[in-house]
Amino acid sequence: MLVFEKSRPGRGCSMLPACDVEIVLPKEKDKRELALHMPELSENELSRHYTELAKKSHGVNDGFYPLGSCTMKYNPKINEDMAALPGFTEVHPLQPAHTVQGCMEVMKETEEYLCEITGMDHMTFQPAAGAHGEFTGLLLIKAYHESRGDKKRTKIIVPDSAHGTNPASAVMAGYSVVSIPSGEDGCVDLEKLRAVAGDDIAGLMLTNPNTVGLFDKNILEITNIVHGCGGLCYYDGANLNAVMGTVRPGDMGFDVIHLNLHKTFSTPHGGGGPGSGPVGCKECLTEFLPSVLVEGEETLSFVKSEHSIGEMKSFYGNFLVVVRALTYLKTLGREGIPKASQNAVLNANYMMNKLKDLYTMAYDEVCMHEFVMSLSDLKKKTGVSAMDIAKGLLDNGIHPPTMYFPLIVDEALMVEPTETESRETLDEAIQVFRNLYEMAEKEAESLHAAPVTTPVTRLDEVGAARHPVLRYQFS
């Protein structure tokens, strides 16, 4: 039941004292006439309402969450405690510099950690999410070419395996997209890349490991080709959890990157944000970074470059998310960061190896932090689709892998276990996957009907889009 349906006139919570100065009301011409319909509930009713909603939600805390490309690792509790310190939450963003030295220190120290991990020279925390970071990074590339008077570069190369945000961000930055097909091995097809690399190319957007979970071994050749035609290389950091301490984007030839602190650096995703998408770059792009950077040793201050692309949003980004990430970085440190990546890769390979006799792997090679299965054989044989298996997982308390992505794999399920899952959890999940396979062969119908144990069964998405009901209508 919606909170509005629980509302009873006259109920409510008492929050504010009486006004201690003379009341001033807006003049008639500016006075609100539309009635408000906020719910009227006692605090007990309100609290129970949200507890009920929480019960109908599945977070990392509820169980295994191998959602590929989203790095659903455990969110440490100390991160939350530190982000709730009044010394961070009660600070106004426009306070004088000498009263916010701690906030500046958070930004500077996190920048130092993350630049070393990625091989970049500077980093901005203003972008609020990964896609926002992509847009920012592309604007840096645009500003770079424009500063050199180079106006002919109007295209960004994006592999067909890329996240959907890549081409969408390129268009927001005013570029047209050149999509290049992946090779049979799921990696960049060097010949296809060479064929499009010309003086109209502003840059390339790439993840490595790529979206099929493989490390592209030709990475130096790839970035060389792009640099050779005068373009820059953008690293989509969505998959950084595979390579921390092993490989740095900066050493692979990337000039600009974004990270997802809400993936790789353990900050919770909150059911769809707030995230944080810091953008790091090499020296050649630093002068174009948005907003301010922190400088100084003893006394810190904000500095803004005169060639900055401007502001990407208000203030300094999703600051409390950065506080959480710094807490995590300090905890793991020099040994823990590479270990996290190693175990993420181990867990993925472990699961893949224990499933590949039954399920068809899209690419049967050593994978990185995630692997992609194609259920197209199973579907042909039994009629059970990737969607059906995913829904079957729901009845077993497991959040399904990412479905139908990347687009280059038919009936794809993309599995990313992360390093914070124990062997027992992986073994249980492997067993569930195997049971579902068996079920597909023996009783396909029951998988078409799954899930049956969840608060609702499969929902009519077509109807929802055809006859949109996007809000409650008050009578």
191 binds another protein (CB under 8 A): no
172 binds another protein (CB under 8 A): yes
Residue from 48, 102, 296, 443 that binds another protein (CB under 8 A)? 102
Q: How many residues bind another protein (CB under 8 A)?
A: 199
Residue from 184, 380, 471, 475 that binds another protein (CB under 8 A)? 471
Residue from 193, 226, 312, 373 that binds another protein (CB under 8 A)? 312
Kindly state the helix (H) or strand (E) to which residue 303 belongs, with its residue range. strand 301-303
Smallest gap from Cβ 181 to another protein, in A, equals 14
Asked if 412 and 374 count as a contact pair (C-beta separation under 8 A), the reply is yes
Q: Which is nearer to another protein, 101 or 441 (CB)?
A: 101
Separation CA 279–CA 140 (nearest Å): 10
290 binds another protein (CB under 8 A): yes
Q: Which is nearer to another protein, 78 or 381 (CB)?
A: 78
Helical packing angle, 165-172 and 130-147, nearest 10° = 40
Rounded-to-10 torsion of CA 147, 278, 134, 261: 170
Separation CA 356–CA 361 (nearest Å): 6
- Residue of 329, 393, 447, 449 lying closest to 68 (CA atoms): 393
313 binds another protein (CB under 8 A): yes
220 binds another protein (CB under 8 A): yes
305 binds another protein (CB under 8 A): no
- Hey, what are 388's tokens? 């059906």
Smallest gap from Cβ 382 to another protein, in A, equals 20
Separation CA 361–CA 468 (nearest Å): 38
24 binds another protein (CB under 8 A): yes
Binding track over 122-141 against another protein, x by CB under 8 A: ------xxxxx-xx--xx--
206 binds another protein (CB under 8 A): no
Of 224-232, 241-249, 374-382, 432-440, the segment contacting another protein by CB under 8 A is 241-249
**What's the chain's Rg over C-alpha atoms?**
25
Separation CA 74–CA 132 (nearest Å): 24
Residue from 66, 100, 279, 375 that binds another protein (CB under 8 A)? 100
Smallest gap from Cβ 149 to another protein, in A, equals 16
Q: What are phi and psi of 302, to 5 degrees?
A: -90, 135
Of 184-192, 226-234, 248-256, 431-439, the segment contacting another protein by CB under 8 A is 248-256
Asked if 406 and 386 count as a contact pair (C-beta separation under 8 A), the reply is no
Residue from 207, 210, 318, 385 that binds another protein (CB under 8 A)? 318
Omega of the bond leading into 209 within 30 degrees of 0 (cis): yes
295 binds another protein (CB under 8 A): no
